[in-house]
Structure 1
Amino acid sequence: MSRTVRCLVIVTALVALTGCGAKNTVKKWVGLDGAAPTDYTGPVYPPTQAVTVAFQPGQVDRACRVFAEALVQFPAKYSGKDMETAVLAEARTRGANQVLIGQTRQSKDDDGLRFLYYGPAHEYTCADQCGGWKFGFDLWEQQGEWVSVGYREWGKAGAVFETPLVMQMAMLHCQ
């Protein structure tokens, strides 16, 4: 067998073998430090009494610092009021003064209410990079259709979502 043919056979075999054993795995439920993202591992602030809500980064004071990034899973049949209650209770517990709500999609899973924490590794000012939503992409990209959750739905008992949802959220500490 000529050297060229032998090299061609080897290259073809390597190309074929690289696709054989590969698994299309997703790092589901793994945070930055390898812990389950349901385990909050960020900065600890004293609980707050009041938390404001923003839907656009421009609505956040420039001095506010993002200290927690999360995807929030809501079960089917949750209302806008239920969502508001759950998010604000979690934010107050963590010491947030404000939350920035990102996009929402239909969830592939209906595992109940869960806060999936993804970081950040270090706090950052909202003025620097708020709204980039670069965390949890491995889970986010697998979700369903886009769902509108804004001022018309947020906090409204009559806005009931028939399917489970996943929402992007950032918690901010403002001084």
Structure 2
Amino acid sequence: MNLISRFHFTIIALFVGLMLANCSTVEIPENTVINPQQPTGAVVLTFDESTVPDHCKVFSHLIFTVPPDLSKKAVRTKIETFAKSHGSDYLLIGLARESSKSTTSIIFKEYGPSKPYLFSRQWTGWRFGFSDWTGGGPLMDYGYNHIQGEGAVFDRQVDVQAIMLSCQIGPAMQ
């Protein structure tokens, strides 16, 4: 009898452990940054990794979703406002692809990191958010020409990879 009870206890413990293991990845709410920095007065939007200063630290991996028919100016303003309010000096923008999401406003979704890291030494590329990124459609052209001017950026929803970097030098950043 004692053997059966231990067997059942072991099975139940394994089951509960597996359930908890699947829940251990905490989803970060949309438009939230887990490591915000002091707000900045300006942010540099760049598509070129070589323009990021060596001392900058990555504090947020993002995929942001841009709705169709939003003007280039509105997209740029929304991106800059979000980045500055969370302490970004640079926003490095990566690839863009057609999104499977439906939205009427820009949505920012963060994928870490758990703590800021030095871009020049630890950046390993666009290796985050695969669960959302791989569900999208074809790659889309997205560059400087898509954030300047008045016309609509896209005619469909688009997911864009980005990282926010803090480049402030001081005791808190060293």
TM over 0.5: yes
* Equivalent pair of 1:56/1:100 in contact (CA under 8 Å): yes
1:151 is the counterpart of 2:140: no
Q: Secondary structure at the match of 1:161?
A: coil
Counterpart residue type for residue 112 of structure 2: G
* Equivalent pair of 1:65/1:173 in contact (CA under 8 Å): yes
Q: Name structure 1 gaps, 5 residues minimum.
A: 1-26
1:57 is the counterpart of 2:45: no
> Could you tell me which residue of structure 2 aligns to residue 124 of structure 1?
117
Partners of 2:99 and 2:165 in 1: CA distance:
25
| Count, aligned residues | 146
Q: How big is the shift at 1:56?
A: 1.7
* Equivalent pair of 2:87/2:166 in contact (CA under 8 Å): yes
Partners of 1:131 and 1:148 in 2: CA distance:
22
Q: How big is the shift at 1:165?
A: 0.7
Partners of 1:129 and 1:143 in 2: CA distance:
27
TM-score under structure 1 length normalisation: 0.76
Counterpart residue type for residue 139 of structure 1: D
1:40 is the counterpart of 2:32: yes
> Could you tell me which residue of structure 2 aligns to residue 68 of structure 1?
60
Partners of 1:165 and 1:153 in 2: CA distance:
12
> Could you tell me which residue of structure 2 aligns to residue 109 of structure 1?
101
* Equivalent pair of 2:88/2:165 in contact (CA under 8 Å): yes
RMSD: 2.1
Given the superposition, is the C-alpha separation of residues 131 and 80 from structure 1 closer, same or farther in structure 2, using an over 3 Å criterion?
Answer: farther
Q: Percentage identity across aligned positions?
A: 31
Q: Deviations over 1:10-45 (max 9, x none)?
A: xxxxxxxxxxxxxxxxx9xx9x95133416242232
Counterpart residue type for residue 147 of structure 1: M
Partners of 1:41 and 1:153 in 2: CA distance:
25
Counterpart residue type for residue 138 of structure 1: S
Given the superposition, is the C-alpha separation of residues 155 and 33 from structure 1 closer, same or farther in structure 2, using an over 3 Å criterion?
Answer: farther
